[in-house]
């Protein structure tokens, strides 16, 4: 007797549809751009979620901010590793509350800060970033003229690897980083192949291995970076940067600019974040400070928390100002 079952099912379906419609109409809109992380604010704690980018300098900022928020202001801090551009989206949605180190993303800034007003600027970090091409100092000492781009082609043969297919290898890192290297190599007519390591971790591992073997290499790298203390590197001079020379990235022929790194907060957090938002706004330190913490994390393999504690204990006067 299948009939009763069928009509019953139909009734159930109709009922469910009705309930769903009522629920939708009754509850109104659910704006997912205003949903915070499910792990935030557990057990009544006040929580701040910080975005960590994949490089160690960013980890150092976050470690110190976390330490101060947790020990001085009694917040609970969650960290999420997000790449640079998606971090803007996450910040605008409130999935993270702050980005502490941004290397300049004009498109995102226009979209979220100026148009949608979901993100606000929170001042500079105090650290100036610079991207460039580097060779290890031991190599530059043996061949001083390698530090000028005009002489690079003469060294292409020495910088060959199995991956670079008969040309010299210029190693690039994570795909999330700002890079014009492919265009630069083509436009400056260099006999080099850009090889993407795919992640900063892979790139660092490879550079350390090269340094151990005392082998020459040419790499895309940036300052401030803790690895310079472990593997001293010398910058290769590219044609100098002039305002606006990087406007057309396909025809670019100049070096990378120096960027004062910026902080950004979610607009809602900036408004209601209380002392935590205040601390993150005032957070401002120097390249040396950041390097000190980075080196403790990446080289001495201290946990970010321990490294932060050590720095905080030694620099009371610096961070006291952030709390006022």
Partner 1 sequence: MAAATAQAPVAGTLAPLRATGRRRAAAKLLALAVLAAVLVPLAEAHWPGGAWPGALTVDLSGPLGRASDWIIDNRDSHPLFLYFFGYVSNAIVVGVRAVYLVLLAAGWAGVTAAAGLVAWRLAGLRLALTAAAAFLVCGLLGMWVPTMQTLALMVVAVLASVLVGGLLGLAAGLSERTHRVLRPVLDTMQVLPAFAYLLPVVLVFGIGVPAAVLATVVYAAPPMARLTALGLRDADQGVMEAVASLGATARQRLFTARLPLALGELMLGVNQAIMMALSMAVIASVIGAGGLGDRVYQALASVDVGAALAAGIPIVLLAVVLDRTTGAAGERLGAGRDVPRGPLRGWAGWLLVAVLTVAAALAARLAGRLDWPGSWEVDIAEPVNRAVDWMTGHLYTGVPYVGGTADWAGHFTTWVLDPVRSGLQWLPWWAVLLIVAALSWLIGTWRTALTAVLAMAAIGVLGVWKPSLDTLSQVLAAVAVTLVLGFAAGVAAARSTRLERWFRPVLDVLQTMPQFVYLIPVVALFGVGRAPAVAAAVVYALPAVVRITTQGVRTVDAAALEAARSLGATGGQQLRQVQLPLARPALLLAVNQGVVLVLAVVIIGGLVGGGALGYDVVFGLAQGDLATGLVAGAAIVCLGLMLDRVTQPTERRAGKGA
Q: What residues make contact with partner 1 under the rule CB under 8 A?
A: 1-2, 4-5, 24, 27, 29-39, 42-43, 52, 54-56, 59, 78-90, 93, 95, 111, 161-163, 165, 171, 174-176, 195-206, 208-209, 212-213, 297-298, 301, 303
**CB 138 to partner 1: min, Å:** 17
**CB 199 to partner 1: min, Å:** 4
**CB 81 to partner 1: min, Å:** 5
How many whole angstroms separate alpha carbon 276 and alpha carbon 266?
Answer: 12
**CB 232 to partner 1: min, Å:** 18
41, two tokens:
């604010």
Listed in sequence order, the residues at least 6 apart from 63 whose beta carbon sits closer than 8 Å to its beta carbon are 293, 297, 304, 305, 307, 308
Nearer to partner 1 (CB atom), residue 18 or residue 323: 18
Q: Contact at 8 Å (CB) between 77 and 70?
A: yes
Nearer to partner 1 (CB atom), residue 44 or residue 240: 44
Neighbouring CB atoms inside 10 A of 143's CB total: 14
Nearer to partner 1 (CB atom), residue 52 or residue 261: 52
Rg (CA), the chain: 25
* Residue pointed to by tokens 């390591």: 197
In order of 32, 63, 93, 298, the CA distances from 117 in angstroms are 16, 28, 11, 36
**CB 284 to partner 1: min, Å:** 24
Nearer to partner 1 (CB atom), residue 202 or residue 318: 202
Neighbouring CB atoms inside 10 A of 190's CB total: 20
Nearer to partner 1 (CB atom), residue 39 or residue 150: 39
In 38-176, beta strands by DSSP E: 47-52, 76-81, 98-102, 119-136, 168-172
**CB 54 to partner 1: min, Å:** 4
101, two tokens:
């180190």
**Phi, psi at 246, each rounded to 5°:** -105, 20
Nearer to partner 1 (CB atom), residue 144 or residue 165: 165
Nearer to partner 1 (CB atom), residue 195 or residue 322: 195
**Exposure b/e, 159-174, CB count within 10 A at least 16 = b:** bbbeebeebbbbbbbb
**CB 278 to partner 1: min, Å:** 26
């Amino acid at each position: 007797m299948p009939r009763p079952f069928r009509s019953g099912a139909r009734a159930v379906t109709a009922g469910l549809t009705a309930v769903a419609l009522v629920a939708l109409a009754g509850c109104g809109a659910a704006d997912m751009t205003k949903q915070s992380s499910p792990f935030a604010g557990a057990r009544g704690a006040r929580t701040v979620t910080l975005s960590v980018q994949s490089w160690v300098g960013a980890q150092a900022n976050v470690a110190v901010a976390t330490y101060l928020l947790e020990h001085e202001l009694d917040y609970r801090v969650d960290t999420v590793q997000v790449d640079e551009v998606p971090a803007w989206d996450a910040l605008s949605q409130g999935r993270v509350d702050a980005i502490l180190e941004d290397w300049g993303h004009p498109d995102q800034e226009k979209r979220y800060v100026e148009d949608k007003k979901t993100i606000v600027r929170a001042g500079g970090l105090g650290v100036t970033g610079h991207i460039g091409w580097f060779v290890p100092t031991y190599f530059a000492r043996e061949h001083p003229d390698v530090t000028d781009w005009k002489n690079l082609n003469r060294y292409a043969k020495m910088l060959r690897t199995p991956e670079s297919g008969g040309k010299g290898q210029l190693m690039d890192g994570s795909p999330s980083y700002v890079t014009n290297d492919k265009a630069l190599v083509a436009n400056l007519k260099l006999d080099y192949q850009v090889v993407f390591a795919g992640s900063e971790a892979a790139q660092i591992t490879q550079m350390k291995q090269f340094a151990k073997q005392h082998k020459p290499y040419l790499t895309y790298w940036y300052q401030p970076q803790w690895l310079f203390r472990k593997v001293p590197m010398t910058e290769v001079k590219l044609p100098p940067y002039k305002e606006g020379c990087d406007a057309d990235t396909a025809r670019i022929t100049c070096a990378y600019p120096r960027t004062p790194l910026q902080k950004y907060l979610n607009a809602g957090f900036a408004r209601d974040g209380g002392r935590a938002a205040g601390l993150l706004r005032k957070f401002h330190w120097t390249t040396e400070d950041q390097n000190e913490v980075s080196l403790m994390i990446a080289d001495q393999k201290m946990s970010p928390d321990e490294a932060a504690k050590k720095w905080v204990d030694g620099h009371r006067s610096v961070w006291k100002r952030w709390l006022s």
